[in-house]
Amino acid sequence: MTQADQRPAIDPRPLSSYVAWAGNRNKGPILAVFKEIFPKSGDALELASGSGLHVKYFAPHFPSICFHPSDCDADVFGEIKSSRSGDRNANVVDPVLIDIMDPATFPNPKYLLFDVIFVINLFQVAPISIQEGVARLASSALAPDGILAIYGPFMLDGEYTAASNEAFDKEILAAGVAEWGLKDIRDLEKAAARFGLKLARTLDLPTNNFILLFNRLR
């Protein structure tokens, strides 16, 4: 195993070595899916962008998509702006403050609706109420034909989908932070339905992760 392959200890802080390791590990498979599902042009909002690693990687592949990074921690905005400038990603706008738990910080739908909203590797290190927060935001901010994409490891019908996910969940729970742990896809579905969204597709990705694609109920 090379040094690049060695996983740091779990640390969800946006600029941690663990988040950088996880992001570099999953960005390729996620991009492959996004190339399939993204529109040819439009606006994409990332929730909990952290350092902006994913936006930085995705933006050059979608020159006609305007990427909108966001986070609840304004301290990471300098890192996002710096990486945008260094890579000359003209289709990445300034990051904005969005707290998924606070609707007062949500984008105003009068000014812009998003064709895609995506969130990567957040649910397992967040309270269960994040499910309602993301669904509420998407119901307000998605364009009529927009897509909500959620990436990460999840349980299904109360069961682990792989032994590695069970081990990962135990490691997360051992941190002793209230409400950390793998969430269940069915609970996400229920939260989405309360806000007029439905789970349209469940995509299997490497290392027992998923991308869950939601759209508006019709």
Report the relative pairing of strands 209-216 and 197-205 from DSSP bridges. Answer: antiparallel
Give tens-digit pLDDT for 31-81: 999 999 999 999 999 999 998 999 999 999 999 999 999 999 999 999 898
Question: Residue 196 region, left (φ>0) first, then alpha (ψ -120 to 50), else beta?
Answer: left
Confidence (pLDDT) at 2: 41
CATH homologous superfamily of 28-33+42-216 equals Vaccinia Virus protein VP39 (3.40.50.150)
Q: Is 196 helix (H, G, I), strand (E, B) or coil?
A: coil
Tell me how far the alpha carbon of residue 133 is from its chain's centroid. 13
Q: Does 1 score more than 60 pLDDT?
A: no
pLDDT tens for residues 67-112? 999 999 999 999 898 878 666 789 999 999 999 999 999 999 999 9
Higher-confidence residue: 141 or 16? Answer: 141
